[in-house]
Amino acid sequence: MTPEEREAAIARARAAREAREAGQPSAPAAERPARPERPAREAAAPRGPQPPPEGSIFDTFKRVLPDVEWVEAVQGVRDVILTIKREDVPRVMRAAKEHPDLALDFLRSLHGVDQQPEGFDVVYLLYSYRHHHGVEIKTRVPLDDPHVASVTPIWRGADWHERETRDMFGIIFDGHPNLKPLLLPEDLIDVHPLRKDYPLAEIEIVQGEGASQEEGGEEIE
Amino acid sequence: MTTAPTGEYADQEFETIDLNINMGPQHPSTHGVFRMVLTVDGELVKDVEPHIGYMHRGNEKLPENCDFRQIIGYVDRTDYLAQFNCEHAYVQAVEKLMNIQAPERAEWIRLILAELNRLTSHYMFMGAFGTDIGVFATPFTYAFREREVIQDLFEEISGDRLMYSYFRVGGLGWDVPENFKERVRQVVQHTWQGIKDIDGLLSKNEVFLARTRGIGMITQEQAINWGCTGPVLRATGLPIDIRKEEPYSFYDQVEFDVPVGEYGDVYDRYYVRLEEMRQSVRIIEQALEKMPDKGPILPERLPRLLRAPAGEVYGRVEAPRGEYGIYIYSKGGPKPWRFKVRAPCFSNLSALREMTIGHYVADAVIILGSIDIVLCAVDR
């Protein structure tokens, strides 16, 4: 470097330092190296629940039951998840089993999910051996009036599932032939262990983040 | 209520009443703590009322306080004779929820272990069923001897004889020993002879046939209506198997048949299970050929704290007793909000009344044995 170039370099460095300390960019815009070109980002994939795709079992349901209000219809991770009102349960379930295009003759599981304070979800997992399609149907039952129609007349296998759900959550299935306790002792009718306000143990030690019960170590009678 | 007497009392009339017999929770033939209240007329069963819940342990509430990785221990203990199948259902559900793909070698090992577990479970059935029939010790000893050979292999792999907890979300806990393929081939070689032994001992035995043919029949429509799955459903003649209906893991890359029965009676359920053992061996032999010798058993980047997105999933497998499913509802976070186990024995057992009415008390024991229940799965 020649002495003049050295002088110029020192002056530039001093100006850059002063500009940085003042919060300004350290070199005028023309002298900054050009930012490398980045490819334009594609539109981000939509997040959140997606409606069921064309040709799925939801279309068959809409065709078979055109006047039912579908509270929600979502493509879940594996199955289509449909939410209906609890008044529609007998009608939808009967059509699901008896209509030849749906033929959902296998009730895989019937259980509850605690969604307090809005109530409980009753989940019906159905499958058809004839058409090899399945669906998950949910209905919301309010907390102060936890009644829903029983589907035991439609699928006999619902008998024990509904008894267990009543034991665990307190959901009453109207029309069930024998709603006695199944898993709990016969005299424990008003205890519902799977509700979230029922403690896990006498002294709950809740671990990890996102605790679903009260924060740890509290002694509960 | 009068029954018609014969012989020297033929011109007299007797009044009889139905008797309530309690086959209580402590009973050597009820396959665990299960209570049946039989209403009998003489020895003919008029009504059955099953009482379950003696083994209810809160297996659905406890995982709500557990990390997704910790729940493997709970899942094992639901169906304690088909543990790898249960673990498979659980890891399948969580992997689908979190969109994790297990590596190929891990999936093949899972498949082989699940089929070996089907063998141990069906051996246990052969042993216990023979005991129910009254043959008492011989098939039991044979079956358990064969089962020990497979359990030795499981102990070498997972360190445990019964509660393996070997599968992990994303793959396996650790890699199998180096001699895995030779050991499995040895076990399979040994098992062919074991299956032949049990077959020769029971299948064409006159007394066995007399006691099981035509007992406990259930029609196809009844079986589907009650939600029966597994060998109970296949014995009625329907070739329904989740490995063919909704193939998971690599079951669509192996060839096997689905054995079916004809009448839906107790003998058919036994025979379907025997044939399933042969098909399992076939699957294992093919899987050993296709399994890669080297490879990772966990995906490369698995987060340290598994957080599931909000959503729900139902993972199902063909366990030896039927369709075993795990339903997980997650609100985001490392713990599930709702954890539901769909046990095959629960639905199969609910059809007991249908199958037992009209048979004798001794047959009630055999029918219960043929459903092949595991009370831990029924009661959870």
Of A6-10, B233-237, B306-310, the poorest mean pLDDT is in: A6-10
Q: How far is B95 from chain A (nearest CA, A)?
A: 10
Asked if A164 and A146 count as a contact pair (C-beta separation under 8 A), the reply is no
| pLDDT tens per residue across span B197-228 | 888 888 888 888 888 888 888 999 889 999 99
In this predicted structure, the answer to whether residue B289 has a pLDDT above a threshold of 80 is yes
What's the pLDDT at A203?
65
A163 confidence band (pLDDT: 50, 70, 90): very high
CA separation for the pair B102, B133 (Å, rounded):
43
Task: Give how far Cα B21 sits from Cα of A97, A182, B134, B216, Å.
Answer: 37, 20, 21, 19
Q: Which amino acid does the sequence have at A39?
A: P
Q: Residues of B with CB below 8 A from A157's CB? A: 225-228, 347, 350-351
Q: What is the ipTM of this complex?
A: 0.88
A106 closest CA partner among B342, B305, B122, B253 = B342
Q: Which amino acid does the sequence have at B198?
A: I
Q: Are strands A133-141 and A80-84 parallel, antiparallel or unpaired?
A: parallel
> Residues near B337 by Cβ (< 8 Å), separated by ≥ 6?
A113, A114, A212, B64, B329, B330, B331
Task: Give how far Cα B253 sits from Cα of B114, B202, B283, Å.
Answer: 15, 33, 10
Under an 8 A CB cutoff, do A210 and B245 touch? Answer: no
B334–chain A Cβ distance below 8 A for any pair: yes
What's the pLDDT at A124?
92
DSSP codes, A53-71:
PTTSHHHHHHHH-TT--EE
In this predicted structure, the answer to whether residue A169 has a pLDDT above a threshold of 60 is yes
Under an 8 A CB cutoff, do B335 and A212 touch? Answer: yes
Q: Are strands A147-149 and A172-174 parallel, antiparallel or unpaired?
A: parallel
- The beta-carbon neighbor of A182 closest among B52, B325, B329 is B52
More reliable by pLDDT, A207 or B282: B282
Under an 8 A CB cutoff, do A155 and B342 touch? Answer: no
B85 closest CA partner among B105, B109, B114, B112 = B114
Q: Residues of B with CB below 8 A from A48's CB? A: none
CA separation for the pair B287, B141 (Å, rounded):
29
What's the pLDDT at A23?
66
Q: Which amino acid does the sequence have at B299?
A: P
Q: List, as ranges, residues 200-229 from B with C-beta within 8 Å of A.
A: 222, 224-228
CA separation for the pair A32, A113 (Å, rounded):
59
Under an 8 A CB cutoff, do A113 and B329 touch? Answer: yes
CA separation for the pair B370, B363 (Å, rounded):
10
| pLDDT tens per residue across span B23-51 | 888 888 777 888 889 999 888 898 999 99
> Could you tell me which residues are beta bridge partners of residue B117?
none
What's the pLDDT at A220?
38
Q: Write out the residues of chain A at the interface with chain B, using a CB-CB cutoff of 8 A.
A: 49, 76-79, 81, 105-109, 111, 113-114, 123, 125, 129, 132, 136, 155-161, 168, 181-185, 193-194, 200, 206-210, 212-213
What's the pLDDT at B10?
66
Under an 8 A CB cutoff, do B327 and A125 touch? Answer: yes
Interface test with A, best of B64, B68, B97 (most A CBs within 10 A): B64
Q: Residues of B with CB below 8 A from A50's CB? A: none
Q: Residues of A with CB below 8 A from B351's CB? A: 156-157
Of A106-115, A165-174, B289-298, the poorest mean pLDDT is in: B289-298
Q: Which amino acid does the sequence have at B138?
A: T
- For residues B102-122, average pLDDT: 92
- For residues B222-248, average pLDDT: 90
Asked if B68 and B308 count as a contact pair (C-beta separation under 8 A), the reply is yes
Element (H, E) at A139: strand A133-141
- For residues A174-186, average pLDDT: 87
What's the pLDDT at B4?
59
Residues B205-226 as b or e (16 or more Cβ within 10 Å = b)? beebeebbeebbbbeeebbbbb
> Could you tell me which residues are beta bridge partners of residue A81?
A74, A136
What's the pLDDT at A44?
46
Q: What distance lies between CA B261 and its chain's CA centroid?
A: 17
What's the pLDDT at A209?
52
* pLDDT more than 90, % of chain B: 32
A127 closest CA partner among A107, A154, A110 = A107
Q: What is the mean pLDDT of chain A?
A: 79
Under an 8 A CB cutoff, do B314 and A79 touch? Answer: yes
Q: Residues of A with CB below 8 A from B66's CB? A: 207
CA separation for the pair B105, B284 (Å, rounded):
14
In this predicted structure, the answer to whether residue A213 has a pLDDT above a threshold of 90 is no
Nearest residue on chain B to A205, judged by CA atoms? B65
* pLDDT more than 70, % of chain A: 78
CA separation for the pair A202, B302 (Å, rounded):
35
* pLDDT more than 90, % of chain A: 14
Three-class DSSP labels, chain B:
CEECCCHHHCCCCEECCCEEEEECCCCCCCCCCCEEEEEEECCEEEEEEEECCCCCCCCCCHHHHCCCCCCHHHHHCCCCCCHHHHHHHHHHHHHHHHCCCCCHHHHHHHHHHHHHHHHHHHHHHHHHHHHHHCCCCHHHHHHHHHHHHHHHHHHHHHCCCCCCCCEECCEECCCCCCCHHHHHHHHHHHHHHHHHHHHHHHHCCHHHHHHHCCCCCCCHHHHHHHCCCCHHHHCCCCCCCHHHHCCCCCHHHCCCCCCCCCCCCHHHHHHHHHHHHHHHHHHHHHHHHHCCCCCCCCCCCCCCCCCEEEEEEEEEEEECCEEEEEEEEEEEECCCCEEEEECHHHHHHHCHHHHHCCCEHHHHHHHHHHHCCCHHHHHC
Tell the burial category of B102 from Cβ atoms under 10 Å away from its Cβ (0-12, 13-18, 19+): buried
| pLDDT tens per residue across span A28-55 | 555 555 555 554 444 444 556 777 777 7
| pLDDT tens per residue across span A57-112 | 888 888 888 888 888 888 888 888 989 988 888 988 998 888 888 888 899 999 99
Q: Residues of B with CB below 8 A from A181's CB? A: 53
Asked if A194 and B316 count as a contact pair (C-beta separation under 8 A), the reply is no
- For residues A180-200, average pLDDT: 85
Q: Residues of A with CB below 8 A from B350's CB? A: 156-157, 159-160
Q: Which amino acid does the sequence have at B93?
A: A
B2 confidence band (pLDDT: 50, 70, 90): very low
- For residues A7-15, average pLDDT: 78
Q: Which amino acid does the sequence have at B128?
A: A
Under an 8 A CB cutoff, do B379 and A183 touch? Answer: yes
Q: Residues of B with CB below 8 A from A184's CB? A: 53, 56
Of A62-76, B140-154, B174-188, the poorest mean pLDDT is in: A62-76
- For residues B191-195, average pLDDT: 89
